[in-house]
Amino acid sequence: MRKTALWISLALFVGAAVGACGLYAYLTHVQHLAIPHTKETTDGALAEYTLWLTIFTGALAFATVGLGAATLGLYLTGEKQVEITRQALIGDQRAWIVTSLEIGPTGLKIAKGYMELDVRLKVTNIGRSPAVGAHTDIMFLNDISEVSDKLKELAYKNKPSHDHGLPVAPNDYYYRPWGATTQNSIGVRVHESPILIGCVSYHILQDKQIHRTAFAYHIGKKDGSDWGAMIPAKADFIALEDLTVSPWSGGFIS
């Protein structure tokens, strides 16, 4: 709004300046017409009139450039405002996918240095229009230091699929079951902090961009705390009722 007001003020100022110069030149010319004509007065009037005509022409040229710049500025400001309005409308009417994670009945298994987790990802559309071609990819990590890099890599490789993805109507959801296995061996470590990361990619009806909901969940062993304790690396099995699921940093929505 401030830029728009600035351009309008500039246009008004330039227009007023040109008008004042033109009016002054005209009044000067009229005044000299009223003086008795002699060679000296005629030459003087002509010289002064020519001077003011030159000034007026220069001011007019400057005004033309100024008004052109003001017009361009107003156009660009209008284009930005249109884009802001369009984005606000899309944001209000588009699909928005959110996720939540539930542990399946077989819980967490640890065998041969790897962890396997039975999970169900709940994919919900909280927006006002359908999500199209929703496609999910999940990875199971046992090192929290890898979350940020691995999640970005996984998310931007994942794309909507009209052949294998699912449509999600407004206020509707579906479950995506998954048997997630850690990609790296837990070796001889004493405890682990497994993290399940993933991404749901989808299209919306309002644009052609790929939209993503990337997520990370920490898996812990119940100990009375919100996050739960670390998983003993040498445990063979932890049941569903003994596991906790907590959101972890690194997720994003686009």
What is the structure's pLDDT at 235?
A: 81
Rounded to an integer, what distance in angstroms lies between the CA atom of residue 120 and that of residue 176? Answer: 5
- Note the pLDDT of residue 39: 54
Same domain flag for 116 and 201: yes
The single-letter code of the amino acid at 66 is: G
Do 79 and 167 lie in one domain? The reply is: no
Structure tokens at 94: 């588009």
Domain final residue pick, 65, 93, 121: 93
Cβ distance 21 to 56 under 8 Å? yes
Q: State whether 56 and 181 are in the same domain.
A: no
Chain mean position to CA 227: 31
Handedness of CA 49, 51, 54, 56 (dihedral sign): negative
CA-based nearest residue to 253, from 99, 133, 140: 99
- Residue 198, domain extent: 97-253
Q: Are residues 63 and 164 in the same domain?
A: no
- Judgement on whether residues 70 and 103 belong to the same structural domain of the protein: no
- In the chain, the amino acid numbered 31 is Q
Residue 114 and residue 126 in one domain = yes
User: Are residues 30 and 89 part of one domain?
Assistant: yes
Return the H-helix or E-strand segment holding 177. Answer: strand 173-181
Residues 229 and 108 in one domain: yes
Closest CA relative to residue 209, chosen from 60, 107, 90, 61: 90
Is the separation of the CB atoms in 202 and 95 below 8 Å? yes
Same domain, 28 and 89: yes
Specify the pLDDT at position 12.
Answer: 53
**DSSP at 56:** H
d(CA 221, CA 245): 9
CA distance to 5, 14, 26, 251, per residue, from 71 (Å): 12, 12, 28, 43
pTM of the model: 0.68
Strands 231-232 and 173-181, how do they pair? unpaired
CA distance 235 to 238: 7
- Regions of the chain short of the pLDDT cut 70: 1-53, 55-56, 58-63, 66-70, 72-79, 82-83, 86, 184-190
- Do 108 and 208 lie in one domain? The reply is yes
User: How many domains, in total, are found in the chain?
Assistant: 2
Q: Each residue of 74-98: pLDDT tens digit?
A: 666 666 776 677 677 777 889 999 9
Q: Which domain-ending residue is among 93, 111, 135?
A: 93
What pLDDT shows up at residue 192?
81
CA distance 71 to 79: 12
Tell me how far apart the alpha carbons of residues 65 and 63 are, in angstroms, rounded to a whole number.
5
Task: State which of 93, 128, 150 marks the end of a domain.
Answer: 93
Same domain, 69 and 118: no
Tell me: do 139 and 226 sit in the same domain.
yes
Which run of H or of E encompasses 115? strand 114-125
Q: What is the pLDDT of residues 164-192, one digit of tens each?
A: 899 999 999 999 999 888 876 666 566 78
